[in-house]
């Protein structure tokens, strides 16, 4: 199911994903040439959605229009977010389950038009999903991931950032209008770095849905509050235990890797970032001043960093 695609607007599509409760639909936004053999998959953070990548996707499409075959940029709404179904079992809101959904998505994309070149851009949680898929050689990917962008995330996640995020995750919130909602989101998102009011409103709009079908209905955040259930079960000890597995996945990655870090990030420490440049795929590290967790890939220097890495 899809709507017509143009350079400036994506088409909305769906893929059926299996789960123990009978399955769910995951939505994804498709930009560029729907039959292009060069696919870039852009996967968002924990409480975000696929339209976060509008600016980056448009830039990629414009630049790749000069190349033979163009580009297909795919921005899924991970289960429980955006236009995707909410899960019946909240314990399905975990990275291994999300990775399985991405395999279903890639299989559908491959069936629609064969993939010859596959790149991955993952912000925060989206980067963890990317590590799971790139770090296990036996998975049924259409092709091996060629280039991997990890946006402010690594195998070691600082506990204080988990505590900070857990303090607001799952608080659905009700707002009378977009401005009120945007202001409330800015209060917990200042670490994203400087944005113009226009940029922030554009980022905020897809984060909201009407509470009801009635005209003038108040707005709520787009995601299922239950995504917080497994997240809040994490302890400092269990997080540390998961680190060894994540480092093992990272060390297995063969894709050429770019690591982006907000210079003030509380989630990805300078020590972890430095270690990521020295082991596994030996990521190239770029830091952005005046930004914490997580760079939104809207500022021009951030967009150029990603597009030049993927299209050089």
Quick check: is 205 in a domain? no
**Whole-number pLDDT of residue 256:** 98
Quick check: is 65 in a domain? yes
Read off the tokens for 312. 């050089």
Quick check: is 124 in a domain? yes
Phi and psi at residue 42, to the nearest 5°: -115, 120
Integer CA distances (angstroms), 310 to 53, 67, 206, 299, 306, in order? 15, 13, 26, 17, 6
Q: Is the pLDDT assigned to residue 174 strictly greater than 70?
A: yes
**Whole-number pLDDT of residue 199:** 96
Quick check: is 75 in a domain? yes
Number of domains the chain is built from: 1
**Whole-number pLDDT of residue 7:** 55
Quick check: is 199 in a domain? no
Q: What share of the chain is helix, strand, coil (3-state, %, to 5)?
A: 40, 20, 40
**Alpha carbon distance 267, 160 (integer Å):** 8
Q: Is the pLDDT assigned to residue 213 strictly greater than 90?
A: no
Residues forming beta bridges with residue 120, ordered by sequence position: 41, 148
First CA to last CA across the chain, in angstroms?
A: 33
Quick check: is 42 in a domain? yes
**Whole-number pLDDT of residue 2:** 41
pLDDT 10s digits, 99-153: 999 999 999 999 999 999 999 999 999 999 999 999 999 999 999 999 999 999 9
> Range of 70's domain?
11-172+223-311
Read off the tokens for 295. 């760079």
**Whole-number pLDDT of residue 216:** 73
Instruction: Round the average pLDDT of the chain to a whole number and report it.
Output: 94
**Whole-number pLDDT of residue 51:** 98
Quick check: is 33 in a domain? yes
For the residues 7-20, what does the mean pLDDT come to?
92
Q: Burial letters for 103-131: b for 16+ Cβ neighbours within 10 Å, e otherwise? A: eebbebbbeeeebebbbbbbbbbbbbbbb
Helices (H) then strands (E): counts for the chain:
10, 11
pLDDT 10s digits, 291-305: 999 999 999 999 999
Quick check: is 218 in a domain? no
Strand boundaries in 145-186, DSSP class E: 145-151, 174-175
Q: What is the Rg, in whole angstroms, of the alpha carbon atoms belonging to the chain?
A: 18
Q: Burial letters for 9-22: b for 16+ Cβ neighbours within 10 Å, e otherwise? A: ebebbbbebebeee
Strand boundaries in 225-283, DSSP class E: 256-262
Q: What is the residue whose two structure tokens read 């989630």?
A: 267
Task: Show Cβ contacts of residue 112 under 8 Å, excluding neighbours closer than 6 positions.
Answer: 34, 35
**Higher pLDDT among residues 120 and 6, named by residue:** 120
**Whole-number pLDDT of residue 267:** 97
Query: Any idea what the CATH number is for the domain that residue 111 is in?
Result: 3.40.50.1820
């Amino acid at each position: 199911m899809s709507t017509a695609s143009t350079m400036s607007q994506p088409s909305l599509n769906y893929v059926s994903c299996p789960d123990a409760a009978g399955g769910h639909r995951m939505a994804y936004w498709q930009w560029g040439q729907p039959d292009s053999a060069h696919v870039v998959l852009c996967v968002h953070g924990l409480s975000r959605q696929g339209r976060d990548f509008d600016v980056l996707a448009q830039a990629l499409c414009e630049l790749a229009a000069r190349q033979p075959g163009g580009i297909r940029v795919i921005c899924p709404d991970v289960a429980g977010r955006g236009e995707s179904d909410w899960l019946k079992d909240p314990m399905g809101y975990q990275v291994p389950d999300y990775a399985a959904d991405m395999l279903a998505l890639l299989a559908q994309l491959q069936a629609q038009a064969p993939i010859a070149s596959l790149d991955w851009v993952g912000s925060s949680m989206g980067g963890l999903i990317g590590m799971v898929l790139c770090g296990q050689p036996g998975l049924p990917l259409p092709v091996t991931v060629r280039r991997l962008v990890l946006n402010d995330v690594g195998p070691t996640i600082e506990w204080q950032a988990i505590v900070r995020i857990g303090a607001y995750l799952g608080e659905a919130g009700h707002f009378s209008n977009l401005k009120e909602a945007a202001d409330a989101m800015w209060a917990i998102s200042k670490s994203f770095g400087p944005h113009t009011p226009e940029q922030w409103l554009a980022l905020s709009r897809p984060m909201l849905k009407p509470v009801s079908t009635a005209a003038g209905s108040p707005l709520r955040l787009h995601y299922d509050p239950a995504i917080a259930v497994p997240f809040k079960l994490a302890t400092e000890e269990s997080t540390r235990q998961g680190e060894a597995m994540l480092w093992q996945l990272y060390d297995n990655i063969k894709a050429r890797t770019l690591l982006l870090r907000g210079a003030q990030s509380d989630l990805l420490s300078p020590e972890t970032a430095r270690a990521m440049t020295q082991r596994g795929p030996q990521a190239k590290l770029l830091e952005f001043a005046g930004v914490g967790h997580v760079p939104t890939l809207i500022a021009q220097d951030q967009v150029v960093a990603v597009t030049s890495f993927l299209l050089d």
